[in-house]
């Protein structure tokens, strides 16, 4: 009985609704053919202006006081390892020089032993260099990721407050990056972000360190090219 009453009630309500809509439509219909509806004034759509900015995330991170401080600390941390690798490299170069200058004077067995010794030391040195570079790279990545987690919200906020609709990272040159050319003087905000982040972090500039916006040199290993500070892995910026 209750469900039947509900269905009847809904049917009655629907009937009144349709009746009211019909009356409204009838009242809205012009009573005379001569009646003309009011014409809305034409409006010109406002063009949307796209403001694009650029930022070198890598420079912003490692050019900040905090980034420079932590890279200086990383450099000092790896000084003993650098000294160890230098000694290994010097020993290896001395053996190579000995083979070059005395090889023709050595008997076959002595020359073979010297070459075998050089090969073994070269493999050990190369492996130690690779391990050191990987460890340095991982710690650079840790520094970059930690700073970026605090810097990213600031970049988003600065972009929003200054009317940017798109912000592009220029850490990598073209063609590694899709950005072919940009006018850094006109659209780059790297320095502004570095200055603002230095204020927020409260970290003082390292004594005798590089100027703001300049990356410190990465720790070097003998006989190799020093790796550049790694750019942080991309992550979705926080939504404001």
Give the pLDDT confidence of 144-190 residue by residue, as tens digits.
999 999 999 999 999 999 999 999 999 998 888 888 888 888 899 99
Beta strand spans in 71-170 (E): 166-169
In the chain, % of residues over pLDDT 70: 66
CA–CA distance, 176 with 18 (Å, rounded to integer): 64
Nearest to 75 by CA among 213, 206, 231, 232: 206
User: Which segments of the chain are extended strands (E)?
Assistant: 52-55, 166-169
Range 213-222 average pLDDT: 50
pLDDT band at 2 (very low <50, low <70, confident <90, very high): very low
Reported confidence tier of residue 197, pLDDT bands at 50, 70, 90: very high
Mean pLDDT of 71-85: 96
N- to C-terminal Cα distance for the chain? Answer: 54
């Amino acid at each position: 009985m209750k469900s039947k009453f509900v269905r009847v009630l809904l049917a009655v309500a629907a009937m009144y609704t349709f009746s009211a809509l019909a009356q409204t439509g009838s009242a809205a219909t012009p009573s005379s053919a001569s009646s003309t509806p009011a014409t809305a004034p034409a409006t010109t759509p406002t063009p949307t202006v796209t403001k694009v900015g650029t930022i070198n995330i890598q420079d912003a991170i490692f050019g900040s006081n905090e980034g420079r401080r932590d890279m200086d600390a990383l450099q000092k941390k790896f000084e003993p390892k650098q000294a160890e690798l230098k000694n290994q490299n010097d020993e290896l170069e001395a053996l190579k020089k000995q083979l070059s200058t005395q090889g023709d004077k050595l008997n076959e067995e002595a020359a073979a032993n010297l070459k075998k010794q050089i090969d073994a030391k070269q493999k050990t040195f190369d492996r130690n260099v690779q391990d050191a570079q990987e460890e340095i790279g991982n710690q650079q990545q840790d520094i970059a990721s930690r700073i970026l987690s605090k810097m990213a919200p600031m970049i988003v906020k600065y972009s929003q407050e200054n009317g940017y609709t798109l912000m592009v990272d220029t850490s990598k040159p073209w063609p590694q990056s899709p950005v072919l050319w940009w006018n850094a003087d006109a659209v780059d905000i790297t320095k502004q972000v570095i200055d603002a982040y230095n204020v927020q972090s409260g970290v003082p500039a390292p004594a005798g360190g590089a100027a703001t916006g300049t990356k410190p040199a990465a720790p070097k290993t003998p006989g190799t090219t020093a790796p550049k500070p790694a750019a942080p892995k991309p992550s979705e910026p926080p939504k404001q």
